[in-house]
Amino acid sequence: MARSDKKALSVLTSGFMKENPVLKLVLGTCPTLAVTTMARNGIGMGIAATFVLLGSNIVISLIRKIVPDKVRIPVFITVIAGFTTIADMLLHAFLPDVYKELGIYIPLIVVNCIIFARAEMFASKNGVGMSILDALGMGAGFTIALLLMGSVREILGAGTWMGIPVTKNLVDPAVIMILPPGGFLAFGFIVAAIQKLSVLKVRNKEIAGGCDMNCAGCAAAVDGGDKQ
C-alpha cells in the first residue's frame, strides 16, 4: 500500500515542477502569454483552467470504459467544451471582473493543449481518484506558471503586484513588459532560468530540440496515440 501512496503523491506533485505543463512540457502557451499582463489575471485563468481540467478528467475517467475508440476524440472534445462553457457561464455570472479581463481566452480553454493531453494520456487510462490528483497537480502547475509570468510582467511593466504598488513610485515601469513583446521576453527568460537551474541534462536536450517533441506528443494525442 505504501507504493500506491507514493504513486499518488508523485502523480499529484509532478505537475508542479518536474512536469510543469507550461515550463517543461510547453503546453498551453497561448493563455500563458496572453493573460499574464497582471498577476491577478494569471491566477483567474489558472483556476478556470483547473476547473475545466478537473471536470473533464473526472468525466472522461468515469466513462473511459464505455467509449469506443472510434469516437474517442469527438467525445473528449465535447466533454472539455462542455466544462469550458460552464466555466464561462459561471465566471460571467459570479466573477464579472475576471470574466471581462480574460475575455476571449476563457472559451479558448477548450483548445488548451494541457487539458486534451491529460485527457488522452492520463484520464482515459486511469481511475477517477488518480485522474483527480493528476488534474489538481497539472492545474496547480499551470497556475503557478501563470502566477510567475503574471507577477514578473506586472512588477516590471506596471510597478504593481496584484494591484498593490511595489516599485511604481520608485522607478518608471518598463511598459513593454505588459505589451505583447514583453510576454515573449518574460517567458523566454523564465524558461532560461529554469533550464539553468535544472540539474537534469537530459531535460535540457529535450527542450533544446524545440517544441517539436512536445507538440508531437500533443499531436499524437490528438491523432490517436498511435505515434506514441
Which segment (2-10, 138-146, 153-161, 200-208) binds other proteins by CB under 8 A? Answer: 200-208
Q: Map the footprint of other proteins across residues 73-112, applying CB under 8 A.
A: 73-75, 77-79, 81-82, 84-86, 88-90, 92-94, 96, 103-104, 107-108, 110-112
Could you say which of 70, 169, 170, 172 contacts other proteins (CB under 8 A)? 70
Residue burial 82-109, b: 16+ Cβ < 10 Å; e: rest: ebbeebbeebeeeeeebbebbeebbebb
Which segment (40-48, 60-68, 119-127, 162-170) binds other proteins by CB under 8 A? Answer: 60-68
Q: Closest by alpha carbon to 80, among 98, 64, 60? A: 60
- The least CB distance from residue 151 to other proteins, in Å, is 18
- The least CB distance from residue 133 to other proteins, in Å, is 24
Distance CA 97, CA 179 (A): 20
| 196 contributes a contact to other proteins by CB under 8 A | yes
List the grid coordinates of 196. 539553468
One symbol per residue from 142 to 181: x for binding other proteins (CB under 8 A), - otherwise; what is it? ----------------------------------x--xxx
Q: Closest by alpha carbon to 139, among 87, 104, 90? A: 87
Which segment (72-80, 124-132, 144-152, 159-167) binds other proteins by CB under 8 A? Answer: 72-80
Q: Which residues make Cβ contacts (< 8 Å) with residue 184, sequence separation at least 6?
A: 33
Single-letter amino acid code for the residue at 175: V
| 9 contributes a contact to other proteins by CB under 8 A | no
| 7 contributes a contact to other proteins by CB under 8 A | no
Distance CA 207, CA 220 (A): 18
List the grid coordinates of 168. 511604481
